[in-house]
Amino acid sequence: MTTYQLQPVTSIKFLSKKMHWITAIITTLILLSAIGMDVHAHTPHDPVFGLGISPNFANDKTLFVATDGELTDWSYPDIMRSTNGGLTWNKLPNGMDNRGKFSSIRVSPNFSSDNTVFVTTFGIGPGVYKSTDRGNSWQPFNIGLLNRHVTELKIARSGASDYVLFLAPGGGELYRSSSTQADWTIVLEPSSSMVSVIAVSPDFTQDNTVIVAKSTGNLLISTDEGNNWSDIGNPVGTKIHGIAIAPGGAKEIFLATSNGIFYSDDWSKTYTFKSSNLPIGIINNIAVSPNYLFDKTVFCTTATKAVYKSTDRGSSWVLHKSGAVITGQAQTKLAEFSELQISNTFSTDGAVFLSAYDGLFISTDGGIIWTQKQTRQNLVTGLAFSPNFKDDRRILATTYFGGGYYTSENSGTTWTRGSPIGWEGVANNGQLSSFNVDFVQNHTSTPLAVAAAHHSKLGFSNDYGKSWNILSIPQFPDIAVGNVFVNVFALSPNFDIDQEIYIGSNTQGVIQTTDGGISWRATGEVTANNSISTIAVSPNYARDKTAFTANISGEVWRTQNGGDNWSRIGSDSIITPATLRPYMWIAISPQFATDRLVLVGTNNGVFRSTNGGDKWEPITNPRIGPSTVIQQIEFSPNFGNDNTVFINVRGKGLYRLNMSNLGWVKSTSNVGLSLLNKNIQFTEFRISPNFAQDATLIGASRTNVYISTNGGLTWKETGHPQ
């Protein structure tokens, strides 16, 4: 093991349960300088990977976005809706049990009357979700789809009240459905080259035209709703990243390619180069004004700059800076700017939309001036009961890109912001992001709290967040370059005596201190560069020296000698889909010394061990079994007597289980269903340390906190830590 030592810090003793913080954000200044982009991005970044615009945006101001849940909501991506043009957002989790990322959001042309929205996903899962109530609930829409790894979906109006959908699942095939169908029909057979782009004519009702680009650059055109196709080859000799068909019978077509923009005014028979004033290179998005026949307006983005505008059919272009920058953290260069869309009511509202890894940017003056719409500010990321909650009624909360730390002295009814003293060096633009908080459960004096923030920092407070002592964590350059970003941490139940802390990091694996933070060591067995998602320490740690950890590749590891050595366990029985990141959660029974019960939550249900992790088996109960996505598991502190376990299941609700000490499920009750029906699912929940007496739970969903005082049977909204 590698050991690094810090100068002594103020002695602080504390206990923390599992906590989550997901991928930290760093702006890559060298890259930004090299490509000449403005360095004034929203920090932390605000990734948007899918964008849906109401066709009546001028009046209803409705938007849908897909965001990366790694920063805000445990770990999985989310769909959110705004009904005021992006000023505020509501999460839409009801029925969303996807394990992979979203690939697109499309809104029905008749949204004002049919309230219909479609969302597509990558990887294992439904492939397509459909909502007929504006996103308030979702159901799979995939009958007939043999391949559900969906990369693209487009909708074309067909007649006064109908529409046609075209879907590409990534295997070269193309599917079609409609507003009157409950299934999908294949219209292009699978091939070795995938369909990478779909474009439908804005005049589809009259011309029935749809164009697709293959990964080879070949264009295929249909003028009869996809029944028959003409393959015209690759007319521009390069890869095509976007297609825009102008109004006017599909005569004018724009191609965004790896070598600039190409334009046809003869139904794709010939193409000319149209990149005057544009940088030479990749054009990754292109969009045509719905009023094009009058305003001749086209918008595009390059791989490094956004947004360019042309008012002369693409003959010349002017850059209007959106404020979105290249972060260097998107999965691919093209994913930095993911979608460029124009409001259907552009002639009225002048609205243009850009989704990017750096956030959502909107212009309402025809693309000249842009503003960013925050989707993550002041999100509640963590909650913790005071160990003396029975008497002091105190709760602490943490927030993301907001005020940092808050305390309530009345069970969450009102909140007071804690002092930022000590955290100044980790605040961004005056905003402090923190990712969880907990209290020492067995501390011998005044309750102590611990929390984490950016840049290798842990903070400790003995006055409920009014002031903090900050502990810096050293770098481990021989394992991974850069700071140790804390994903999770857990402490020995006997920390007052043994001073042991485990930290699960983003790239350095598990690191540990045995002297209260003066020196740290890295454990070599647990794979570095494989982000740790959970750590749990045995409640009998003083005797058994046992701790568990898991990473986002679905591996579970155990130490039985206090972190000196780790071994992987359960590799032959804990099954998670290999193509999707299973953000694991580990929970250990409070009676572990006698029942040896451990539960692991995965993206494929809950697995149990009744011998301390030597052998595992899946729990087959349909509420928490295979194909369910588990976000959090917590044992009741009184588990030996009440046999109660709470499990948060993505898209389904919060379940209260009666479970034997052998891990058998006797009964389940969805105590979160009433909340889920209001599109409330907890990003984090906690159980009162006095649960046997007060039956109290708290949960956080975005900016709101909820409390139950009857074991989850009923809930009420309490205050807002903002």
Q: Where are the domains of the chain?
A: 235-375
In this prediction, residue 1 carries a pLDDT of 54
Centre a 10 Å sphere on the Cβ of residue 119 and count the other Cβ atoms it contains. 29
703 by Cβ neighbours in 10 Å (0-12 / 13-18 / 19+) ranks as middle
In this prediction, residue 30 carries a pLDDT of 31
In this prediction, residue 609 carries a pLDDT of 97
106 by Cβ neighbours in 10 Å (0-12 / 13-18 / 19+) ranks as buried
The string of pLDDT tens digits covering residues 274-321 is 988 899 899 999 999 999 999 999 999 999 999 999 999 999 999 999
Confidence of residue 430 (pLDDT cuts 50, 70, 90): low
What DSSP state is assigned to residue 246?
P
Q: In the block, which residue shows the tokens 């451990």?
A: 598
In this prediction, residue 25 carries a pLDDT of 31
**Mean pLDDT, the chain, integer:** 88
586 in Cβ contact with 575 (< 8 Å): no
The string of pLDDT tens digits covering residues 206-259 is 999 999 999 999 999 999 999 999 999 999 999 999 999 999 999 999 999 999
pLDDT of 13 strictly over 50: no
Query: 308-310 and 298-302: which strand pairing?
Result: antiparallel
In this prediction, residue 33 carries a pLDDT of 33
Q: Which two tokens stand for residue 132?
A: 């007929």
Q: What is the CA radius of gyration of the chain?
A: 27
Long-range contacts, 170-175 (Cβ 8 Å, 24+): 170/194, 170/195, 171/147, 172/214, 173/147, 174/198, 174/212, 174/226, 175/144, 175/145
In this prediction, residue 24 carries a pLDDT of 34
Strand locations in 303-387, DSSP E?
308-310, 318-319, 337-342, 352-356, 359-363, 370-373, 379-385
Helix, strand, or coil here: 462?
coil
Report the CATH architecture of 235-375. Answer: 7 Propeller (2.130)
Closest to 533 measured CA to CA, from 563, 489, 493 = 489
195 in Cβ contact with 152 (< 8 Å): yes
In this prediction, residue 504 carries a pLDDT of 87
pLDDT of 534 strictly over 80: yes
| Neighbouring-strand partners of residue 608 | 599, 617
CA dist 690 and 363 (Å) reads 52
Q: Which two tokens stand for residue 264?
A: 């046809």
The string of pLDDT tens digits covering residues 496-506 is 889 898 988 88
In this prediction, residue 8 carries a pLDDT of 35
- Using CA atoms, how far residue 270 sits from 198, 213, 232, 256, in Å, is 19, 16, 10, 15
Q: Which two tokens stand for residue 567?
A: 């071994």
- Per DSSP, helices labelled H in 263-322 are 292-295
pTM score, two decimals?
0.90
Confidence of residue 19 (pLDDT cuts 50, 70, 90): very low
- Using CA atoms, how far residue 16 sits from 462, 544, 556, 682, 707, in Å, is 14, 19, 20, 20, 21
Confidence of residue 376 (pLDDT cuts 50, 70, 90): confident
In this prediction, residue 327 carries a pLDDT of 87
* Cis bond upstream, residue 307 (ω within 30): yes
For residues 133, 134, 140 and 144, what is the CA-based torsion angle, rounded to 10 degrees? 100
pLDDT of 655 strictly over 50: yes
Of 489 and 408, more confident: 408
In this prediction, residue 403 carries a pLDDT of 76
Rounded mean pLDDT, 192-211: 96
The string of pLDDT tens digits covering residues 673-715 is 999 999 999 989 999 999 999 999 999 988 889 999 999 999 9
Confidence of residue 45 (pLDDT cuts 50, 70, 90): low
Percent pLDDT > 70 in the chain is 91
Of 8 and 579, more confident: 579
- For 716, list phi and psi in degrees, rounded to 5: -135, 145
Q: Which of 22-36, 46-60, 243-257, 565-579 has the lowest mean pLDDT?
A: 22-36
Confidence of residue 84 (pLDDT cuts 50, 70, 90): very high
Q: Which two tokens stand for residue 380?
A: 């509640």
CA dist 484 and 472 (Å) reads 10
- Using CA atoms, how far residue 211 sits from 145, 156, 240, 250, 290, in Å, is 21, 12, 12, 10, 18
Q: In the block, which residue shows the tokens 């509420």?
A: 623
**DSSP characters over 404-443:** -EEEESSTTSS-EEPP-TT-GGG-BTTBB-EEEEEE-SS-
pLDDT of 41 strictly over 70: no
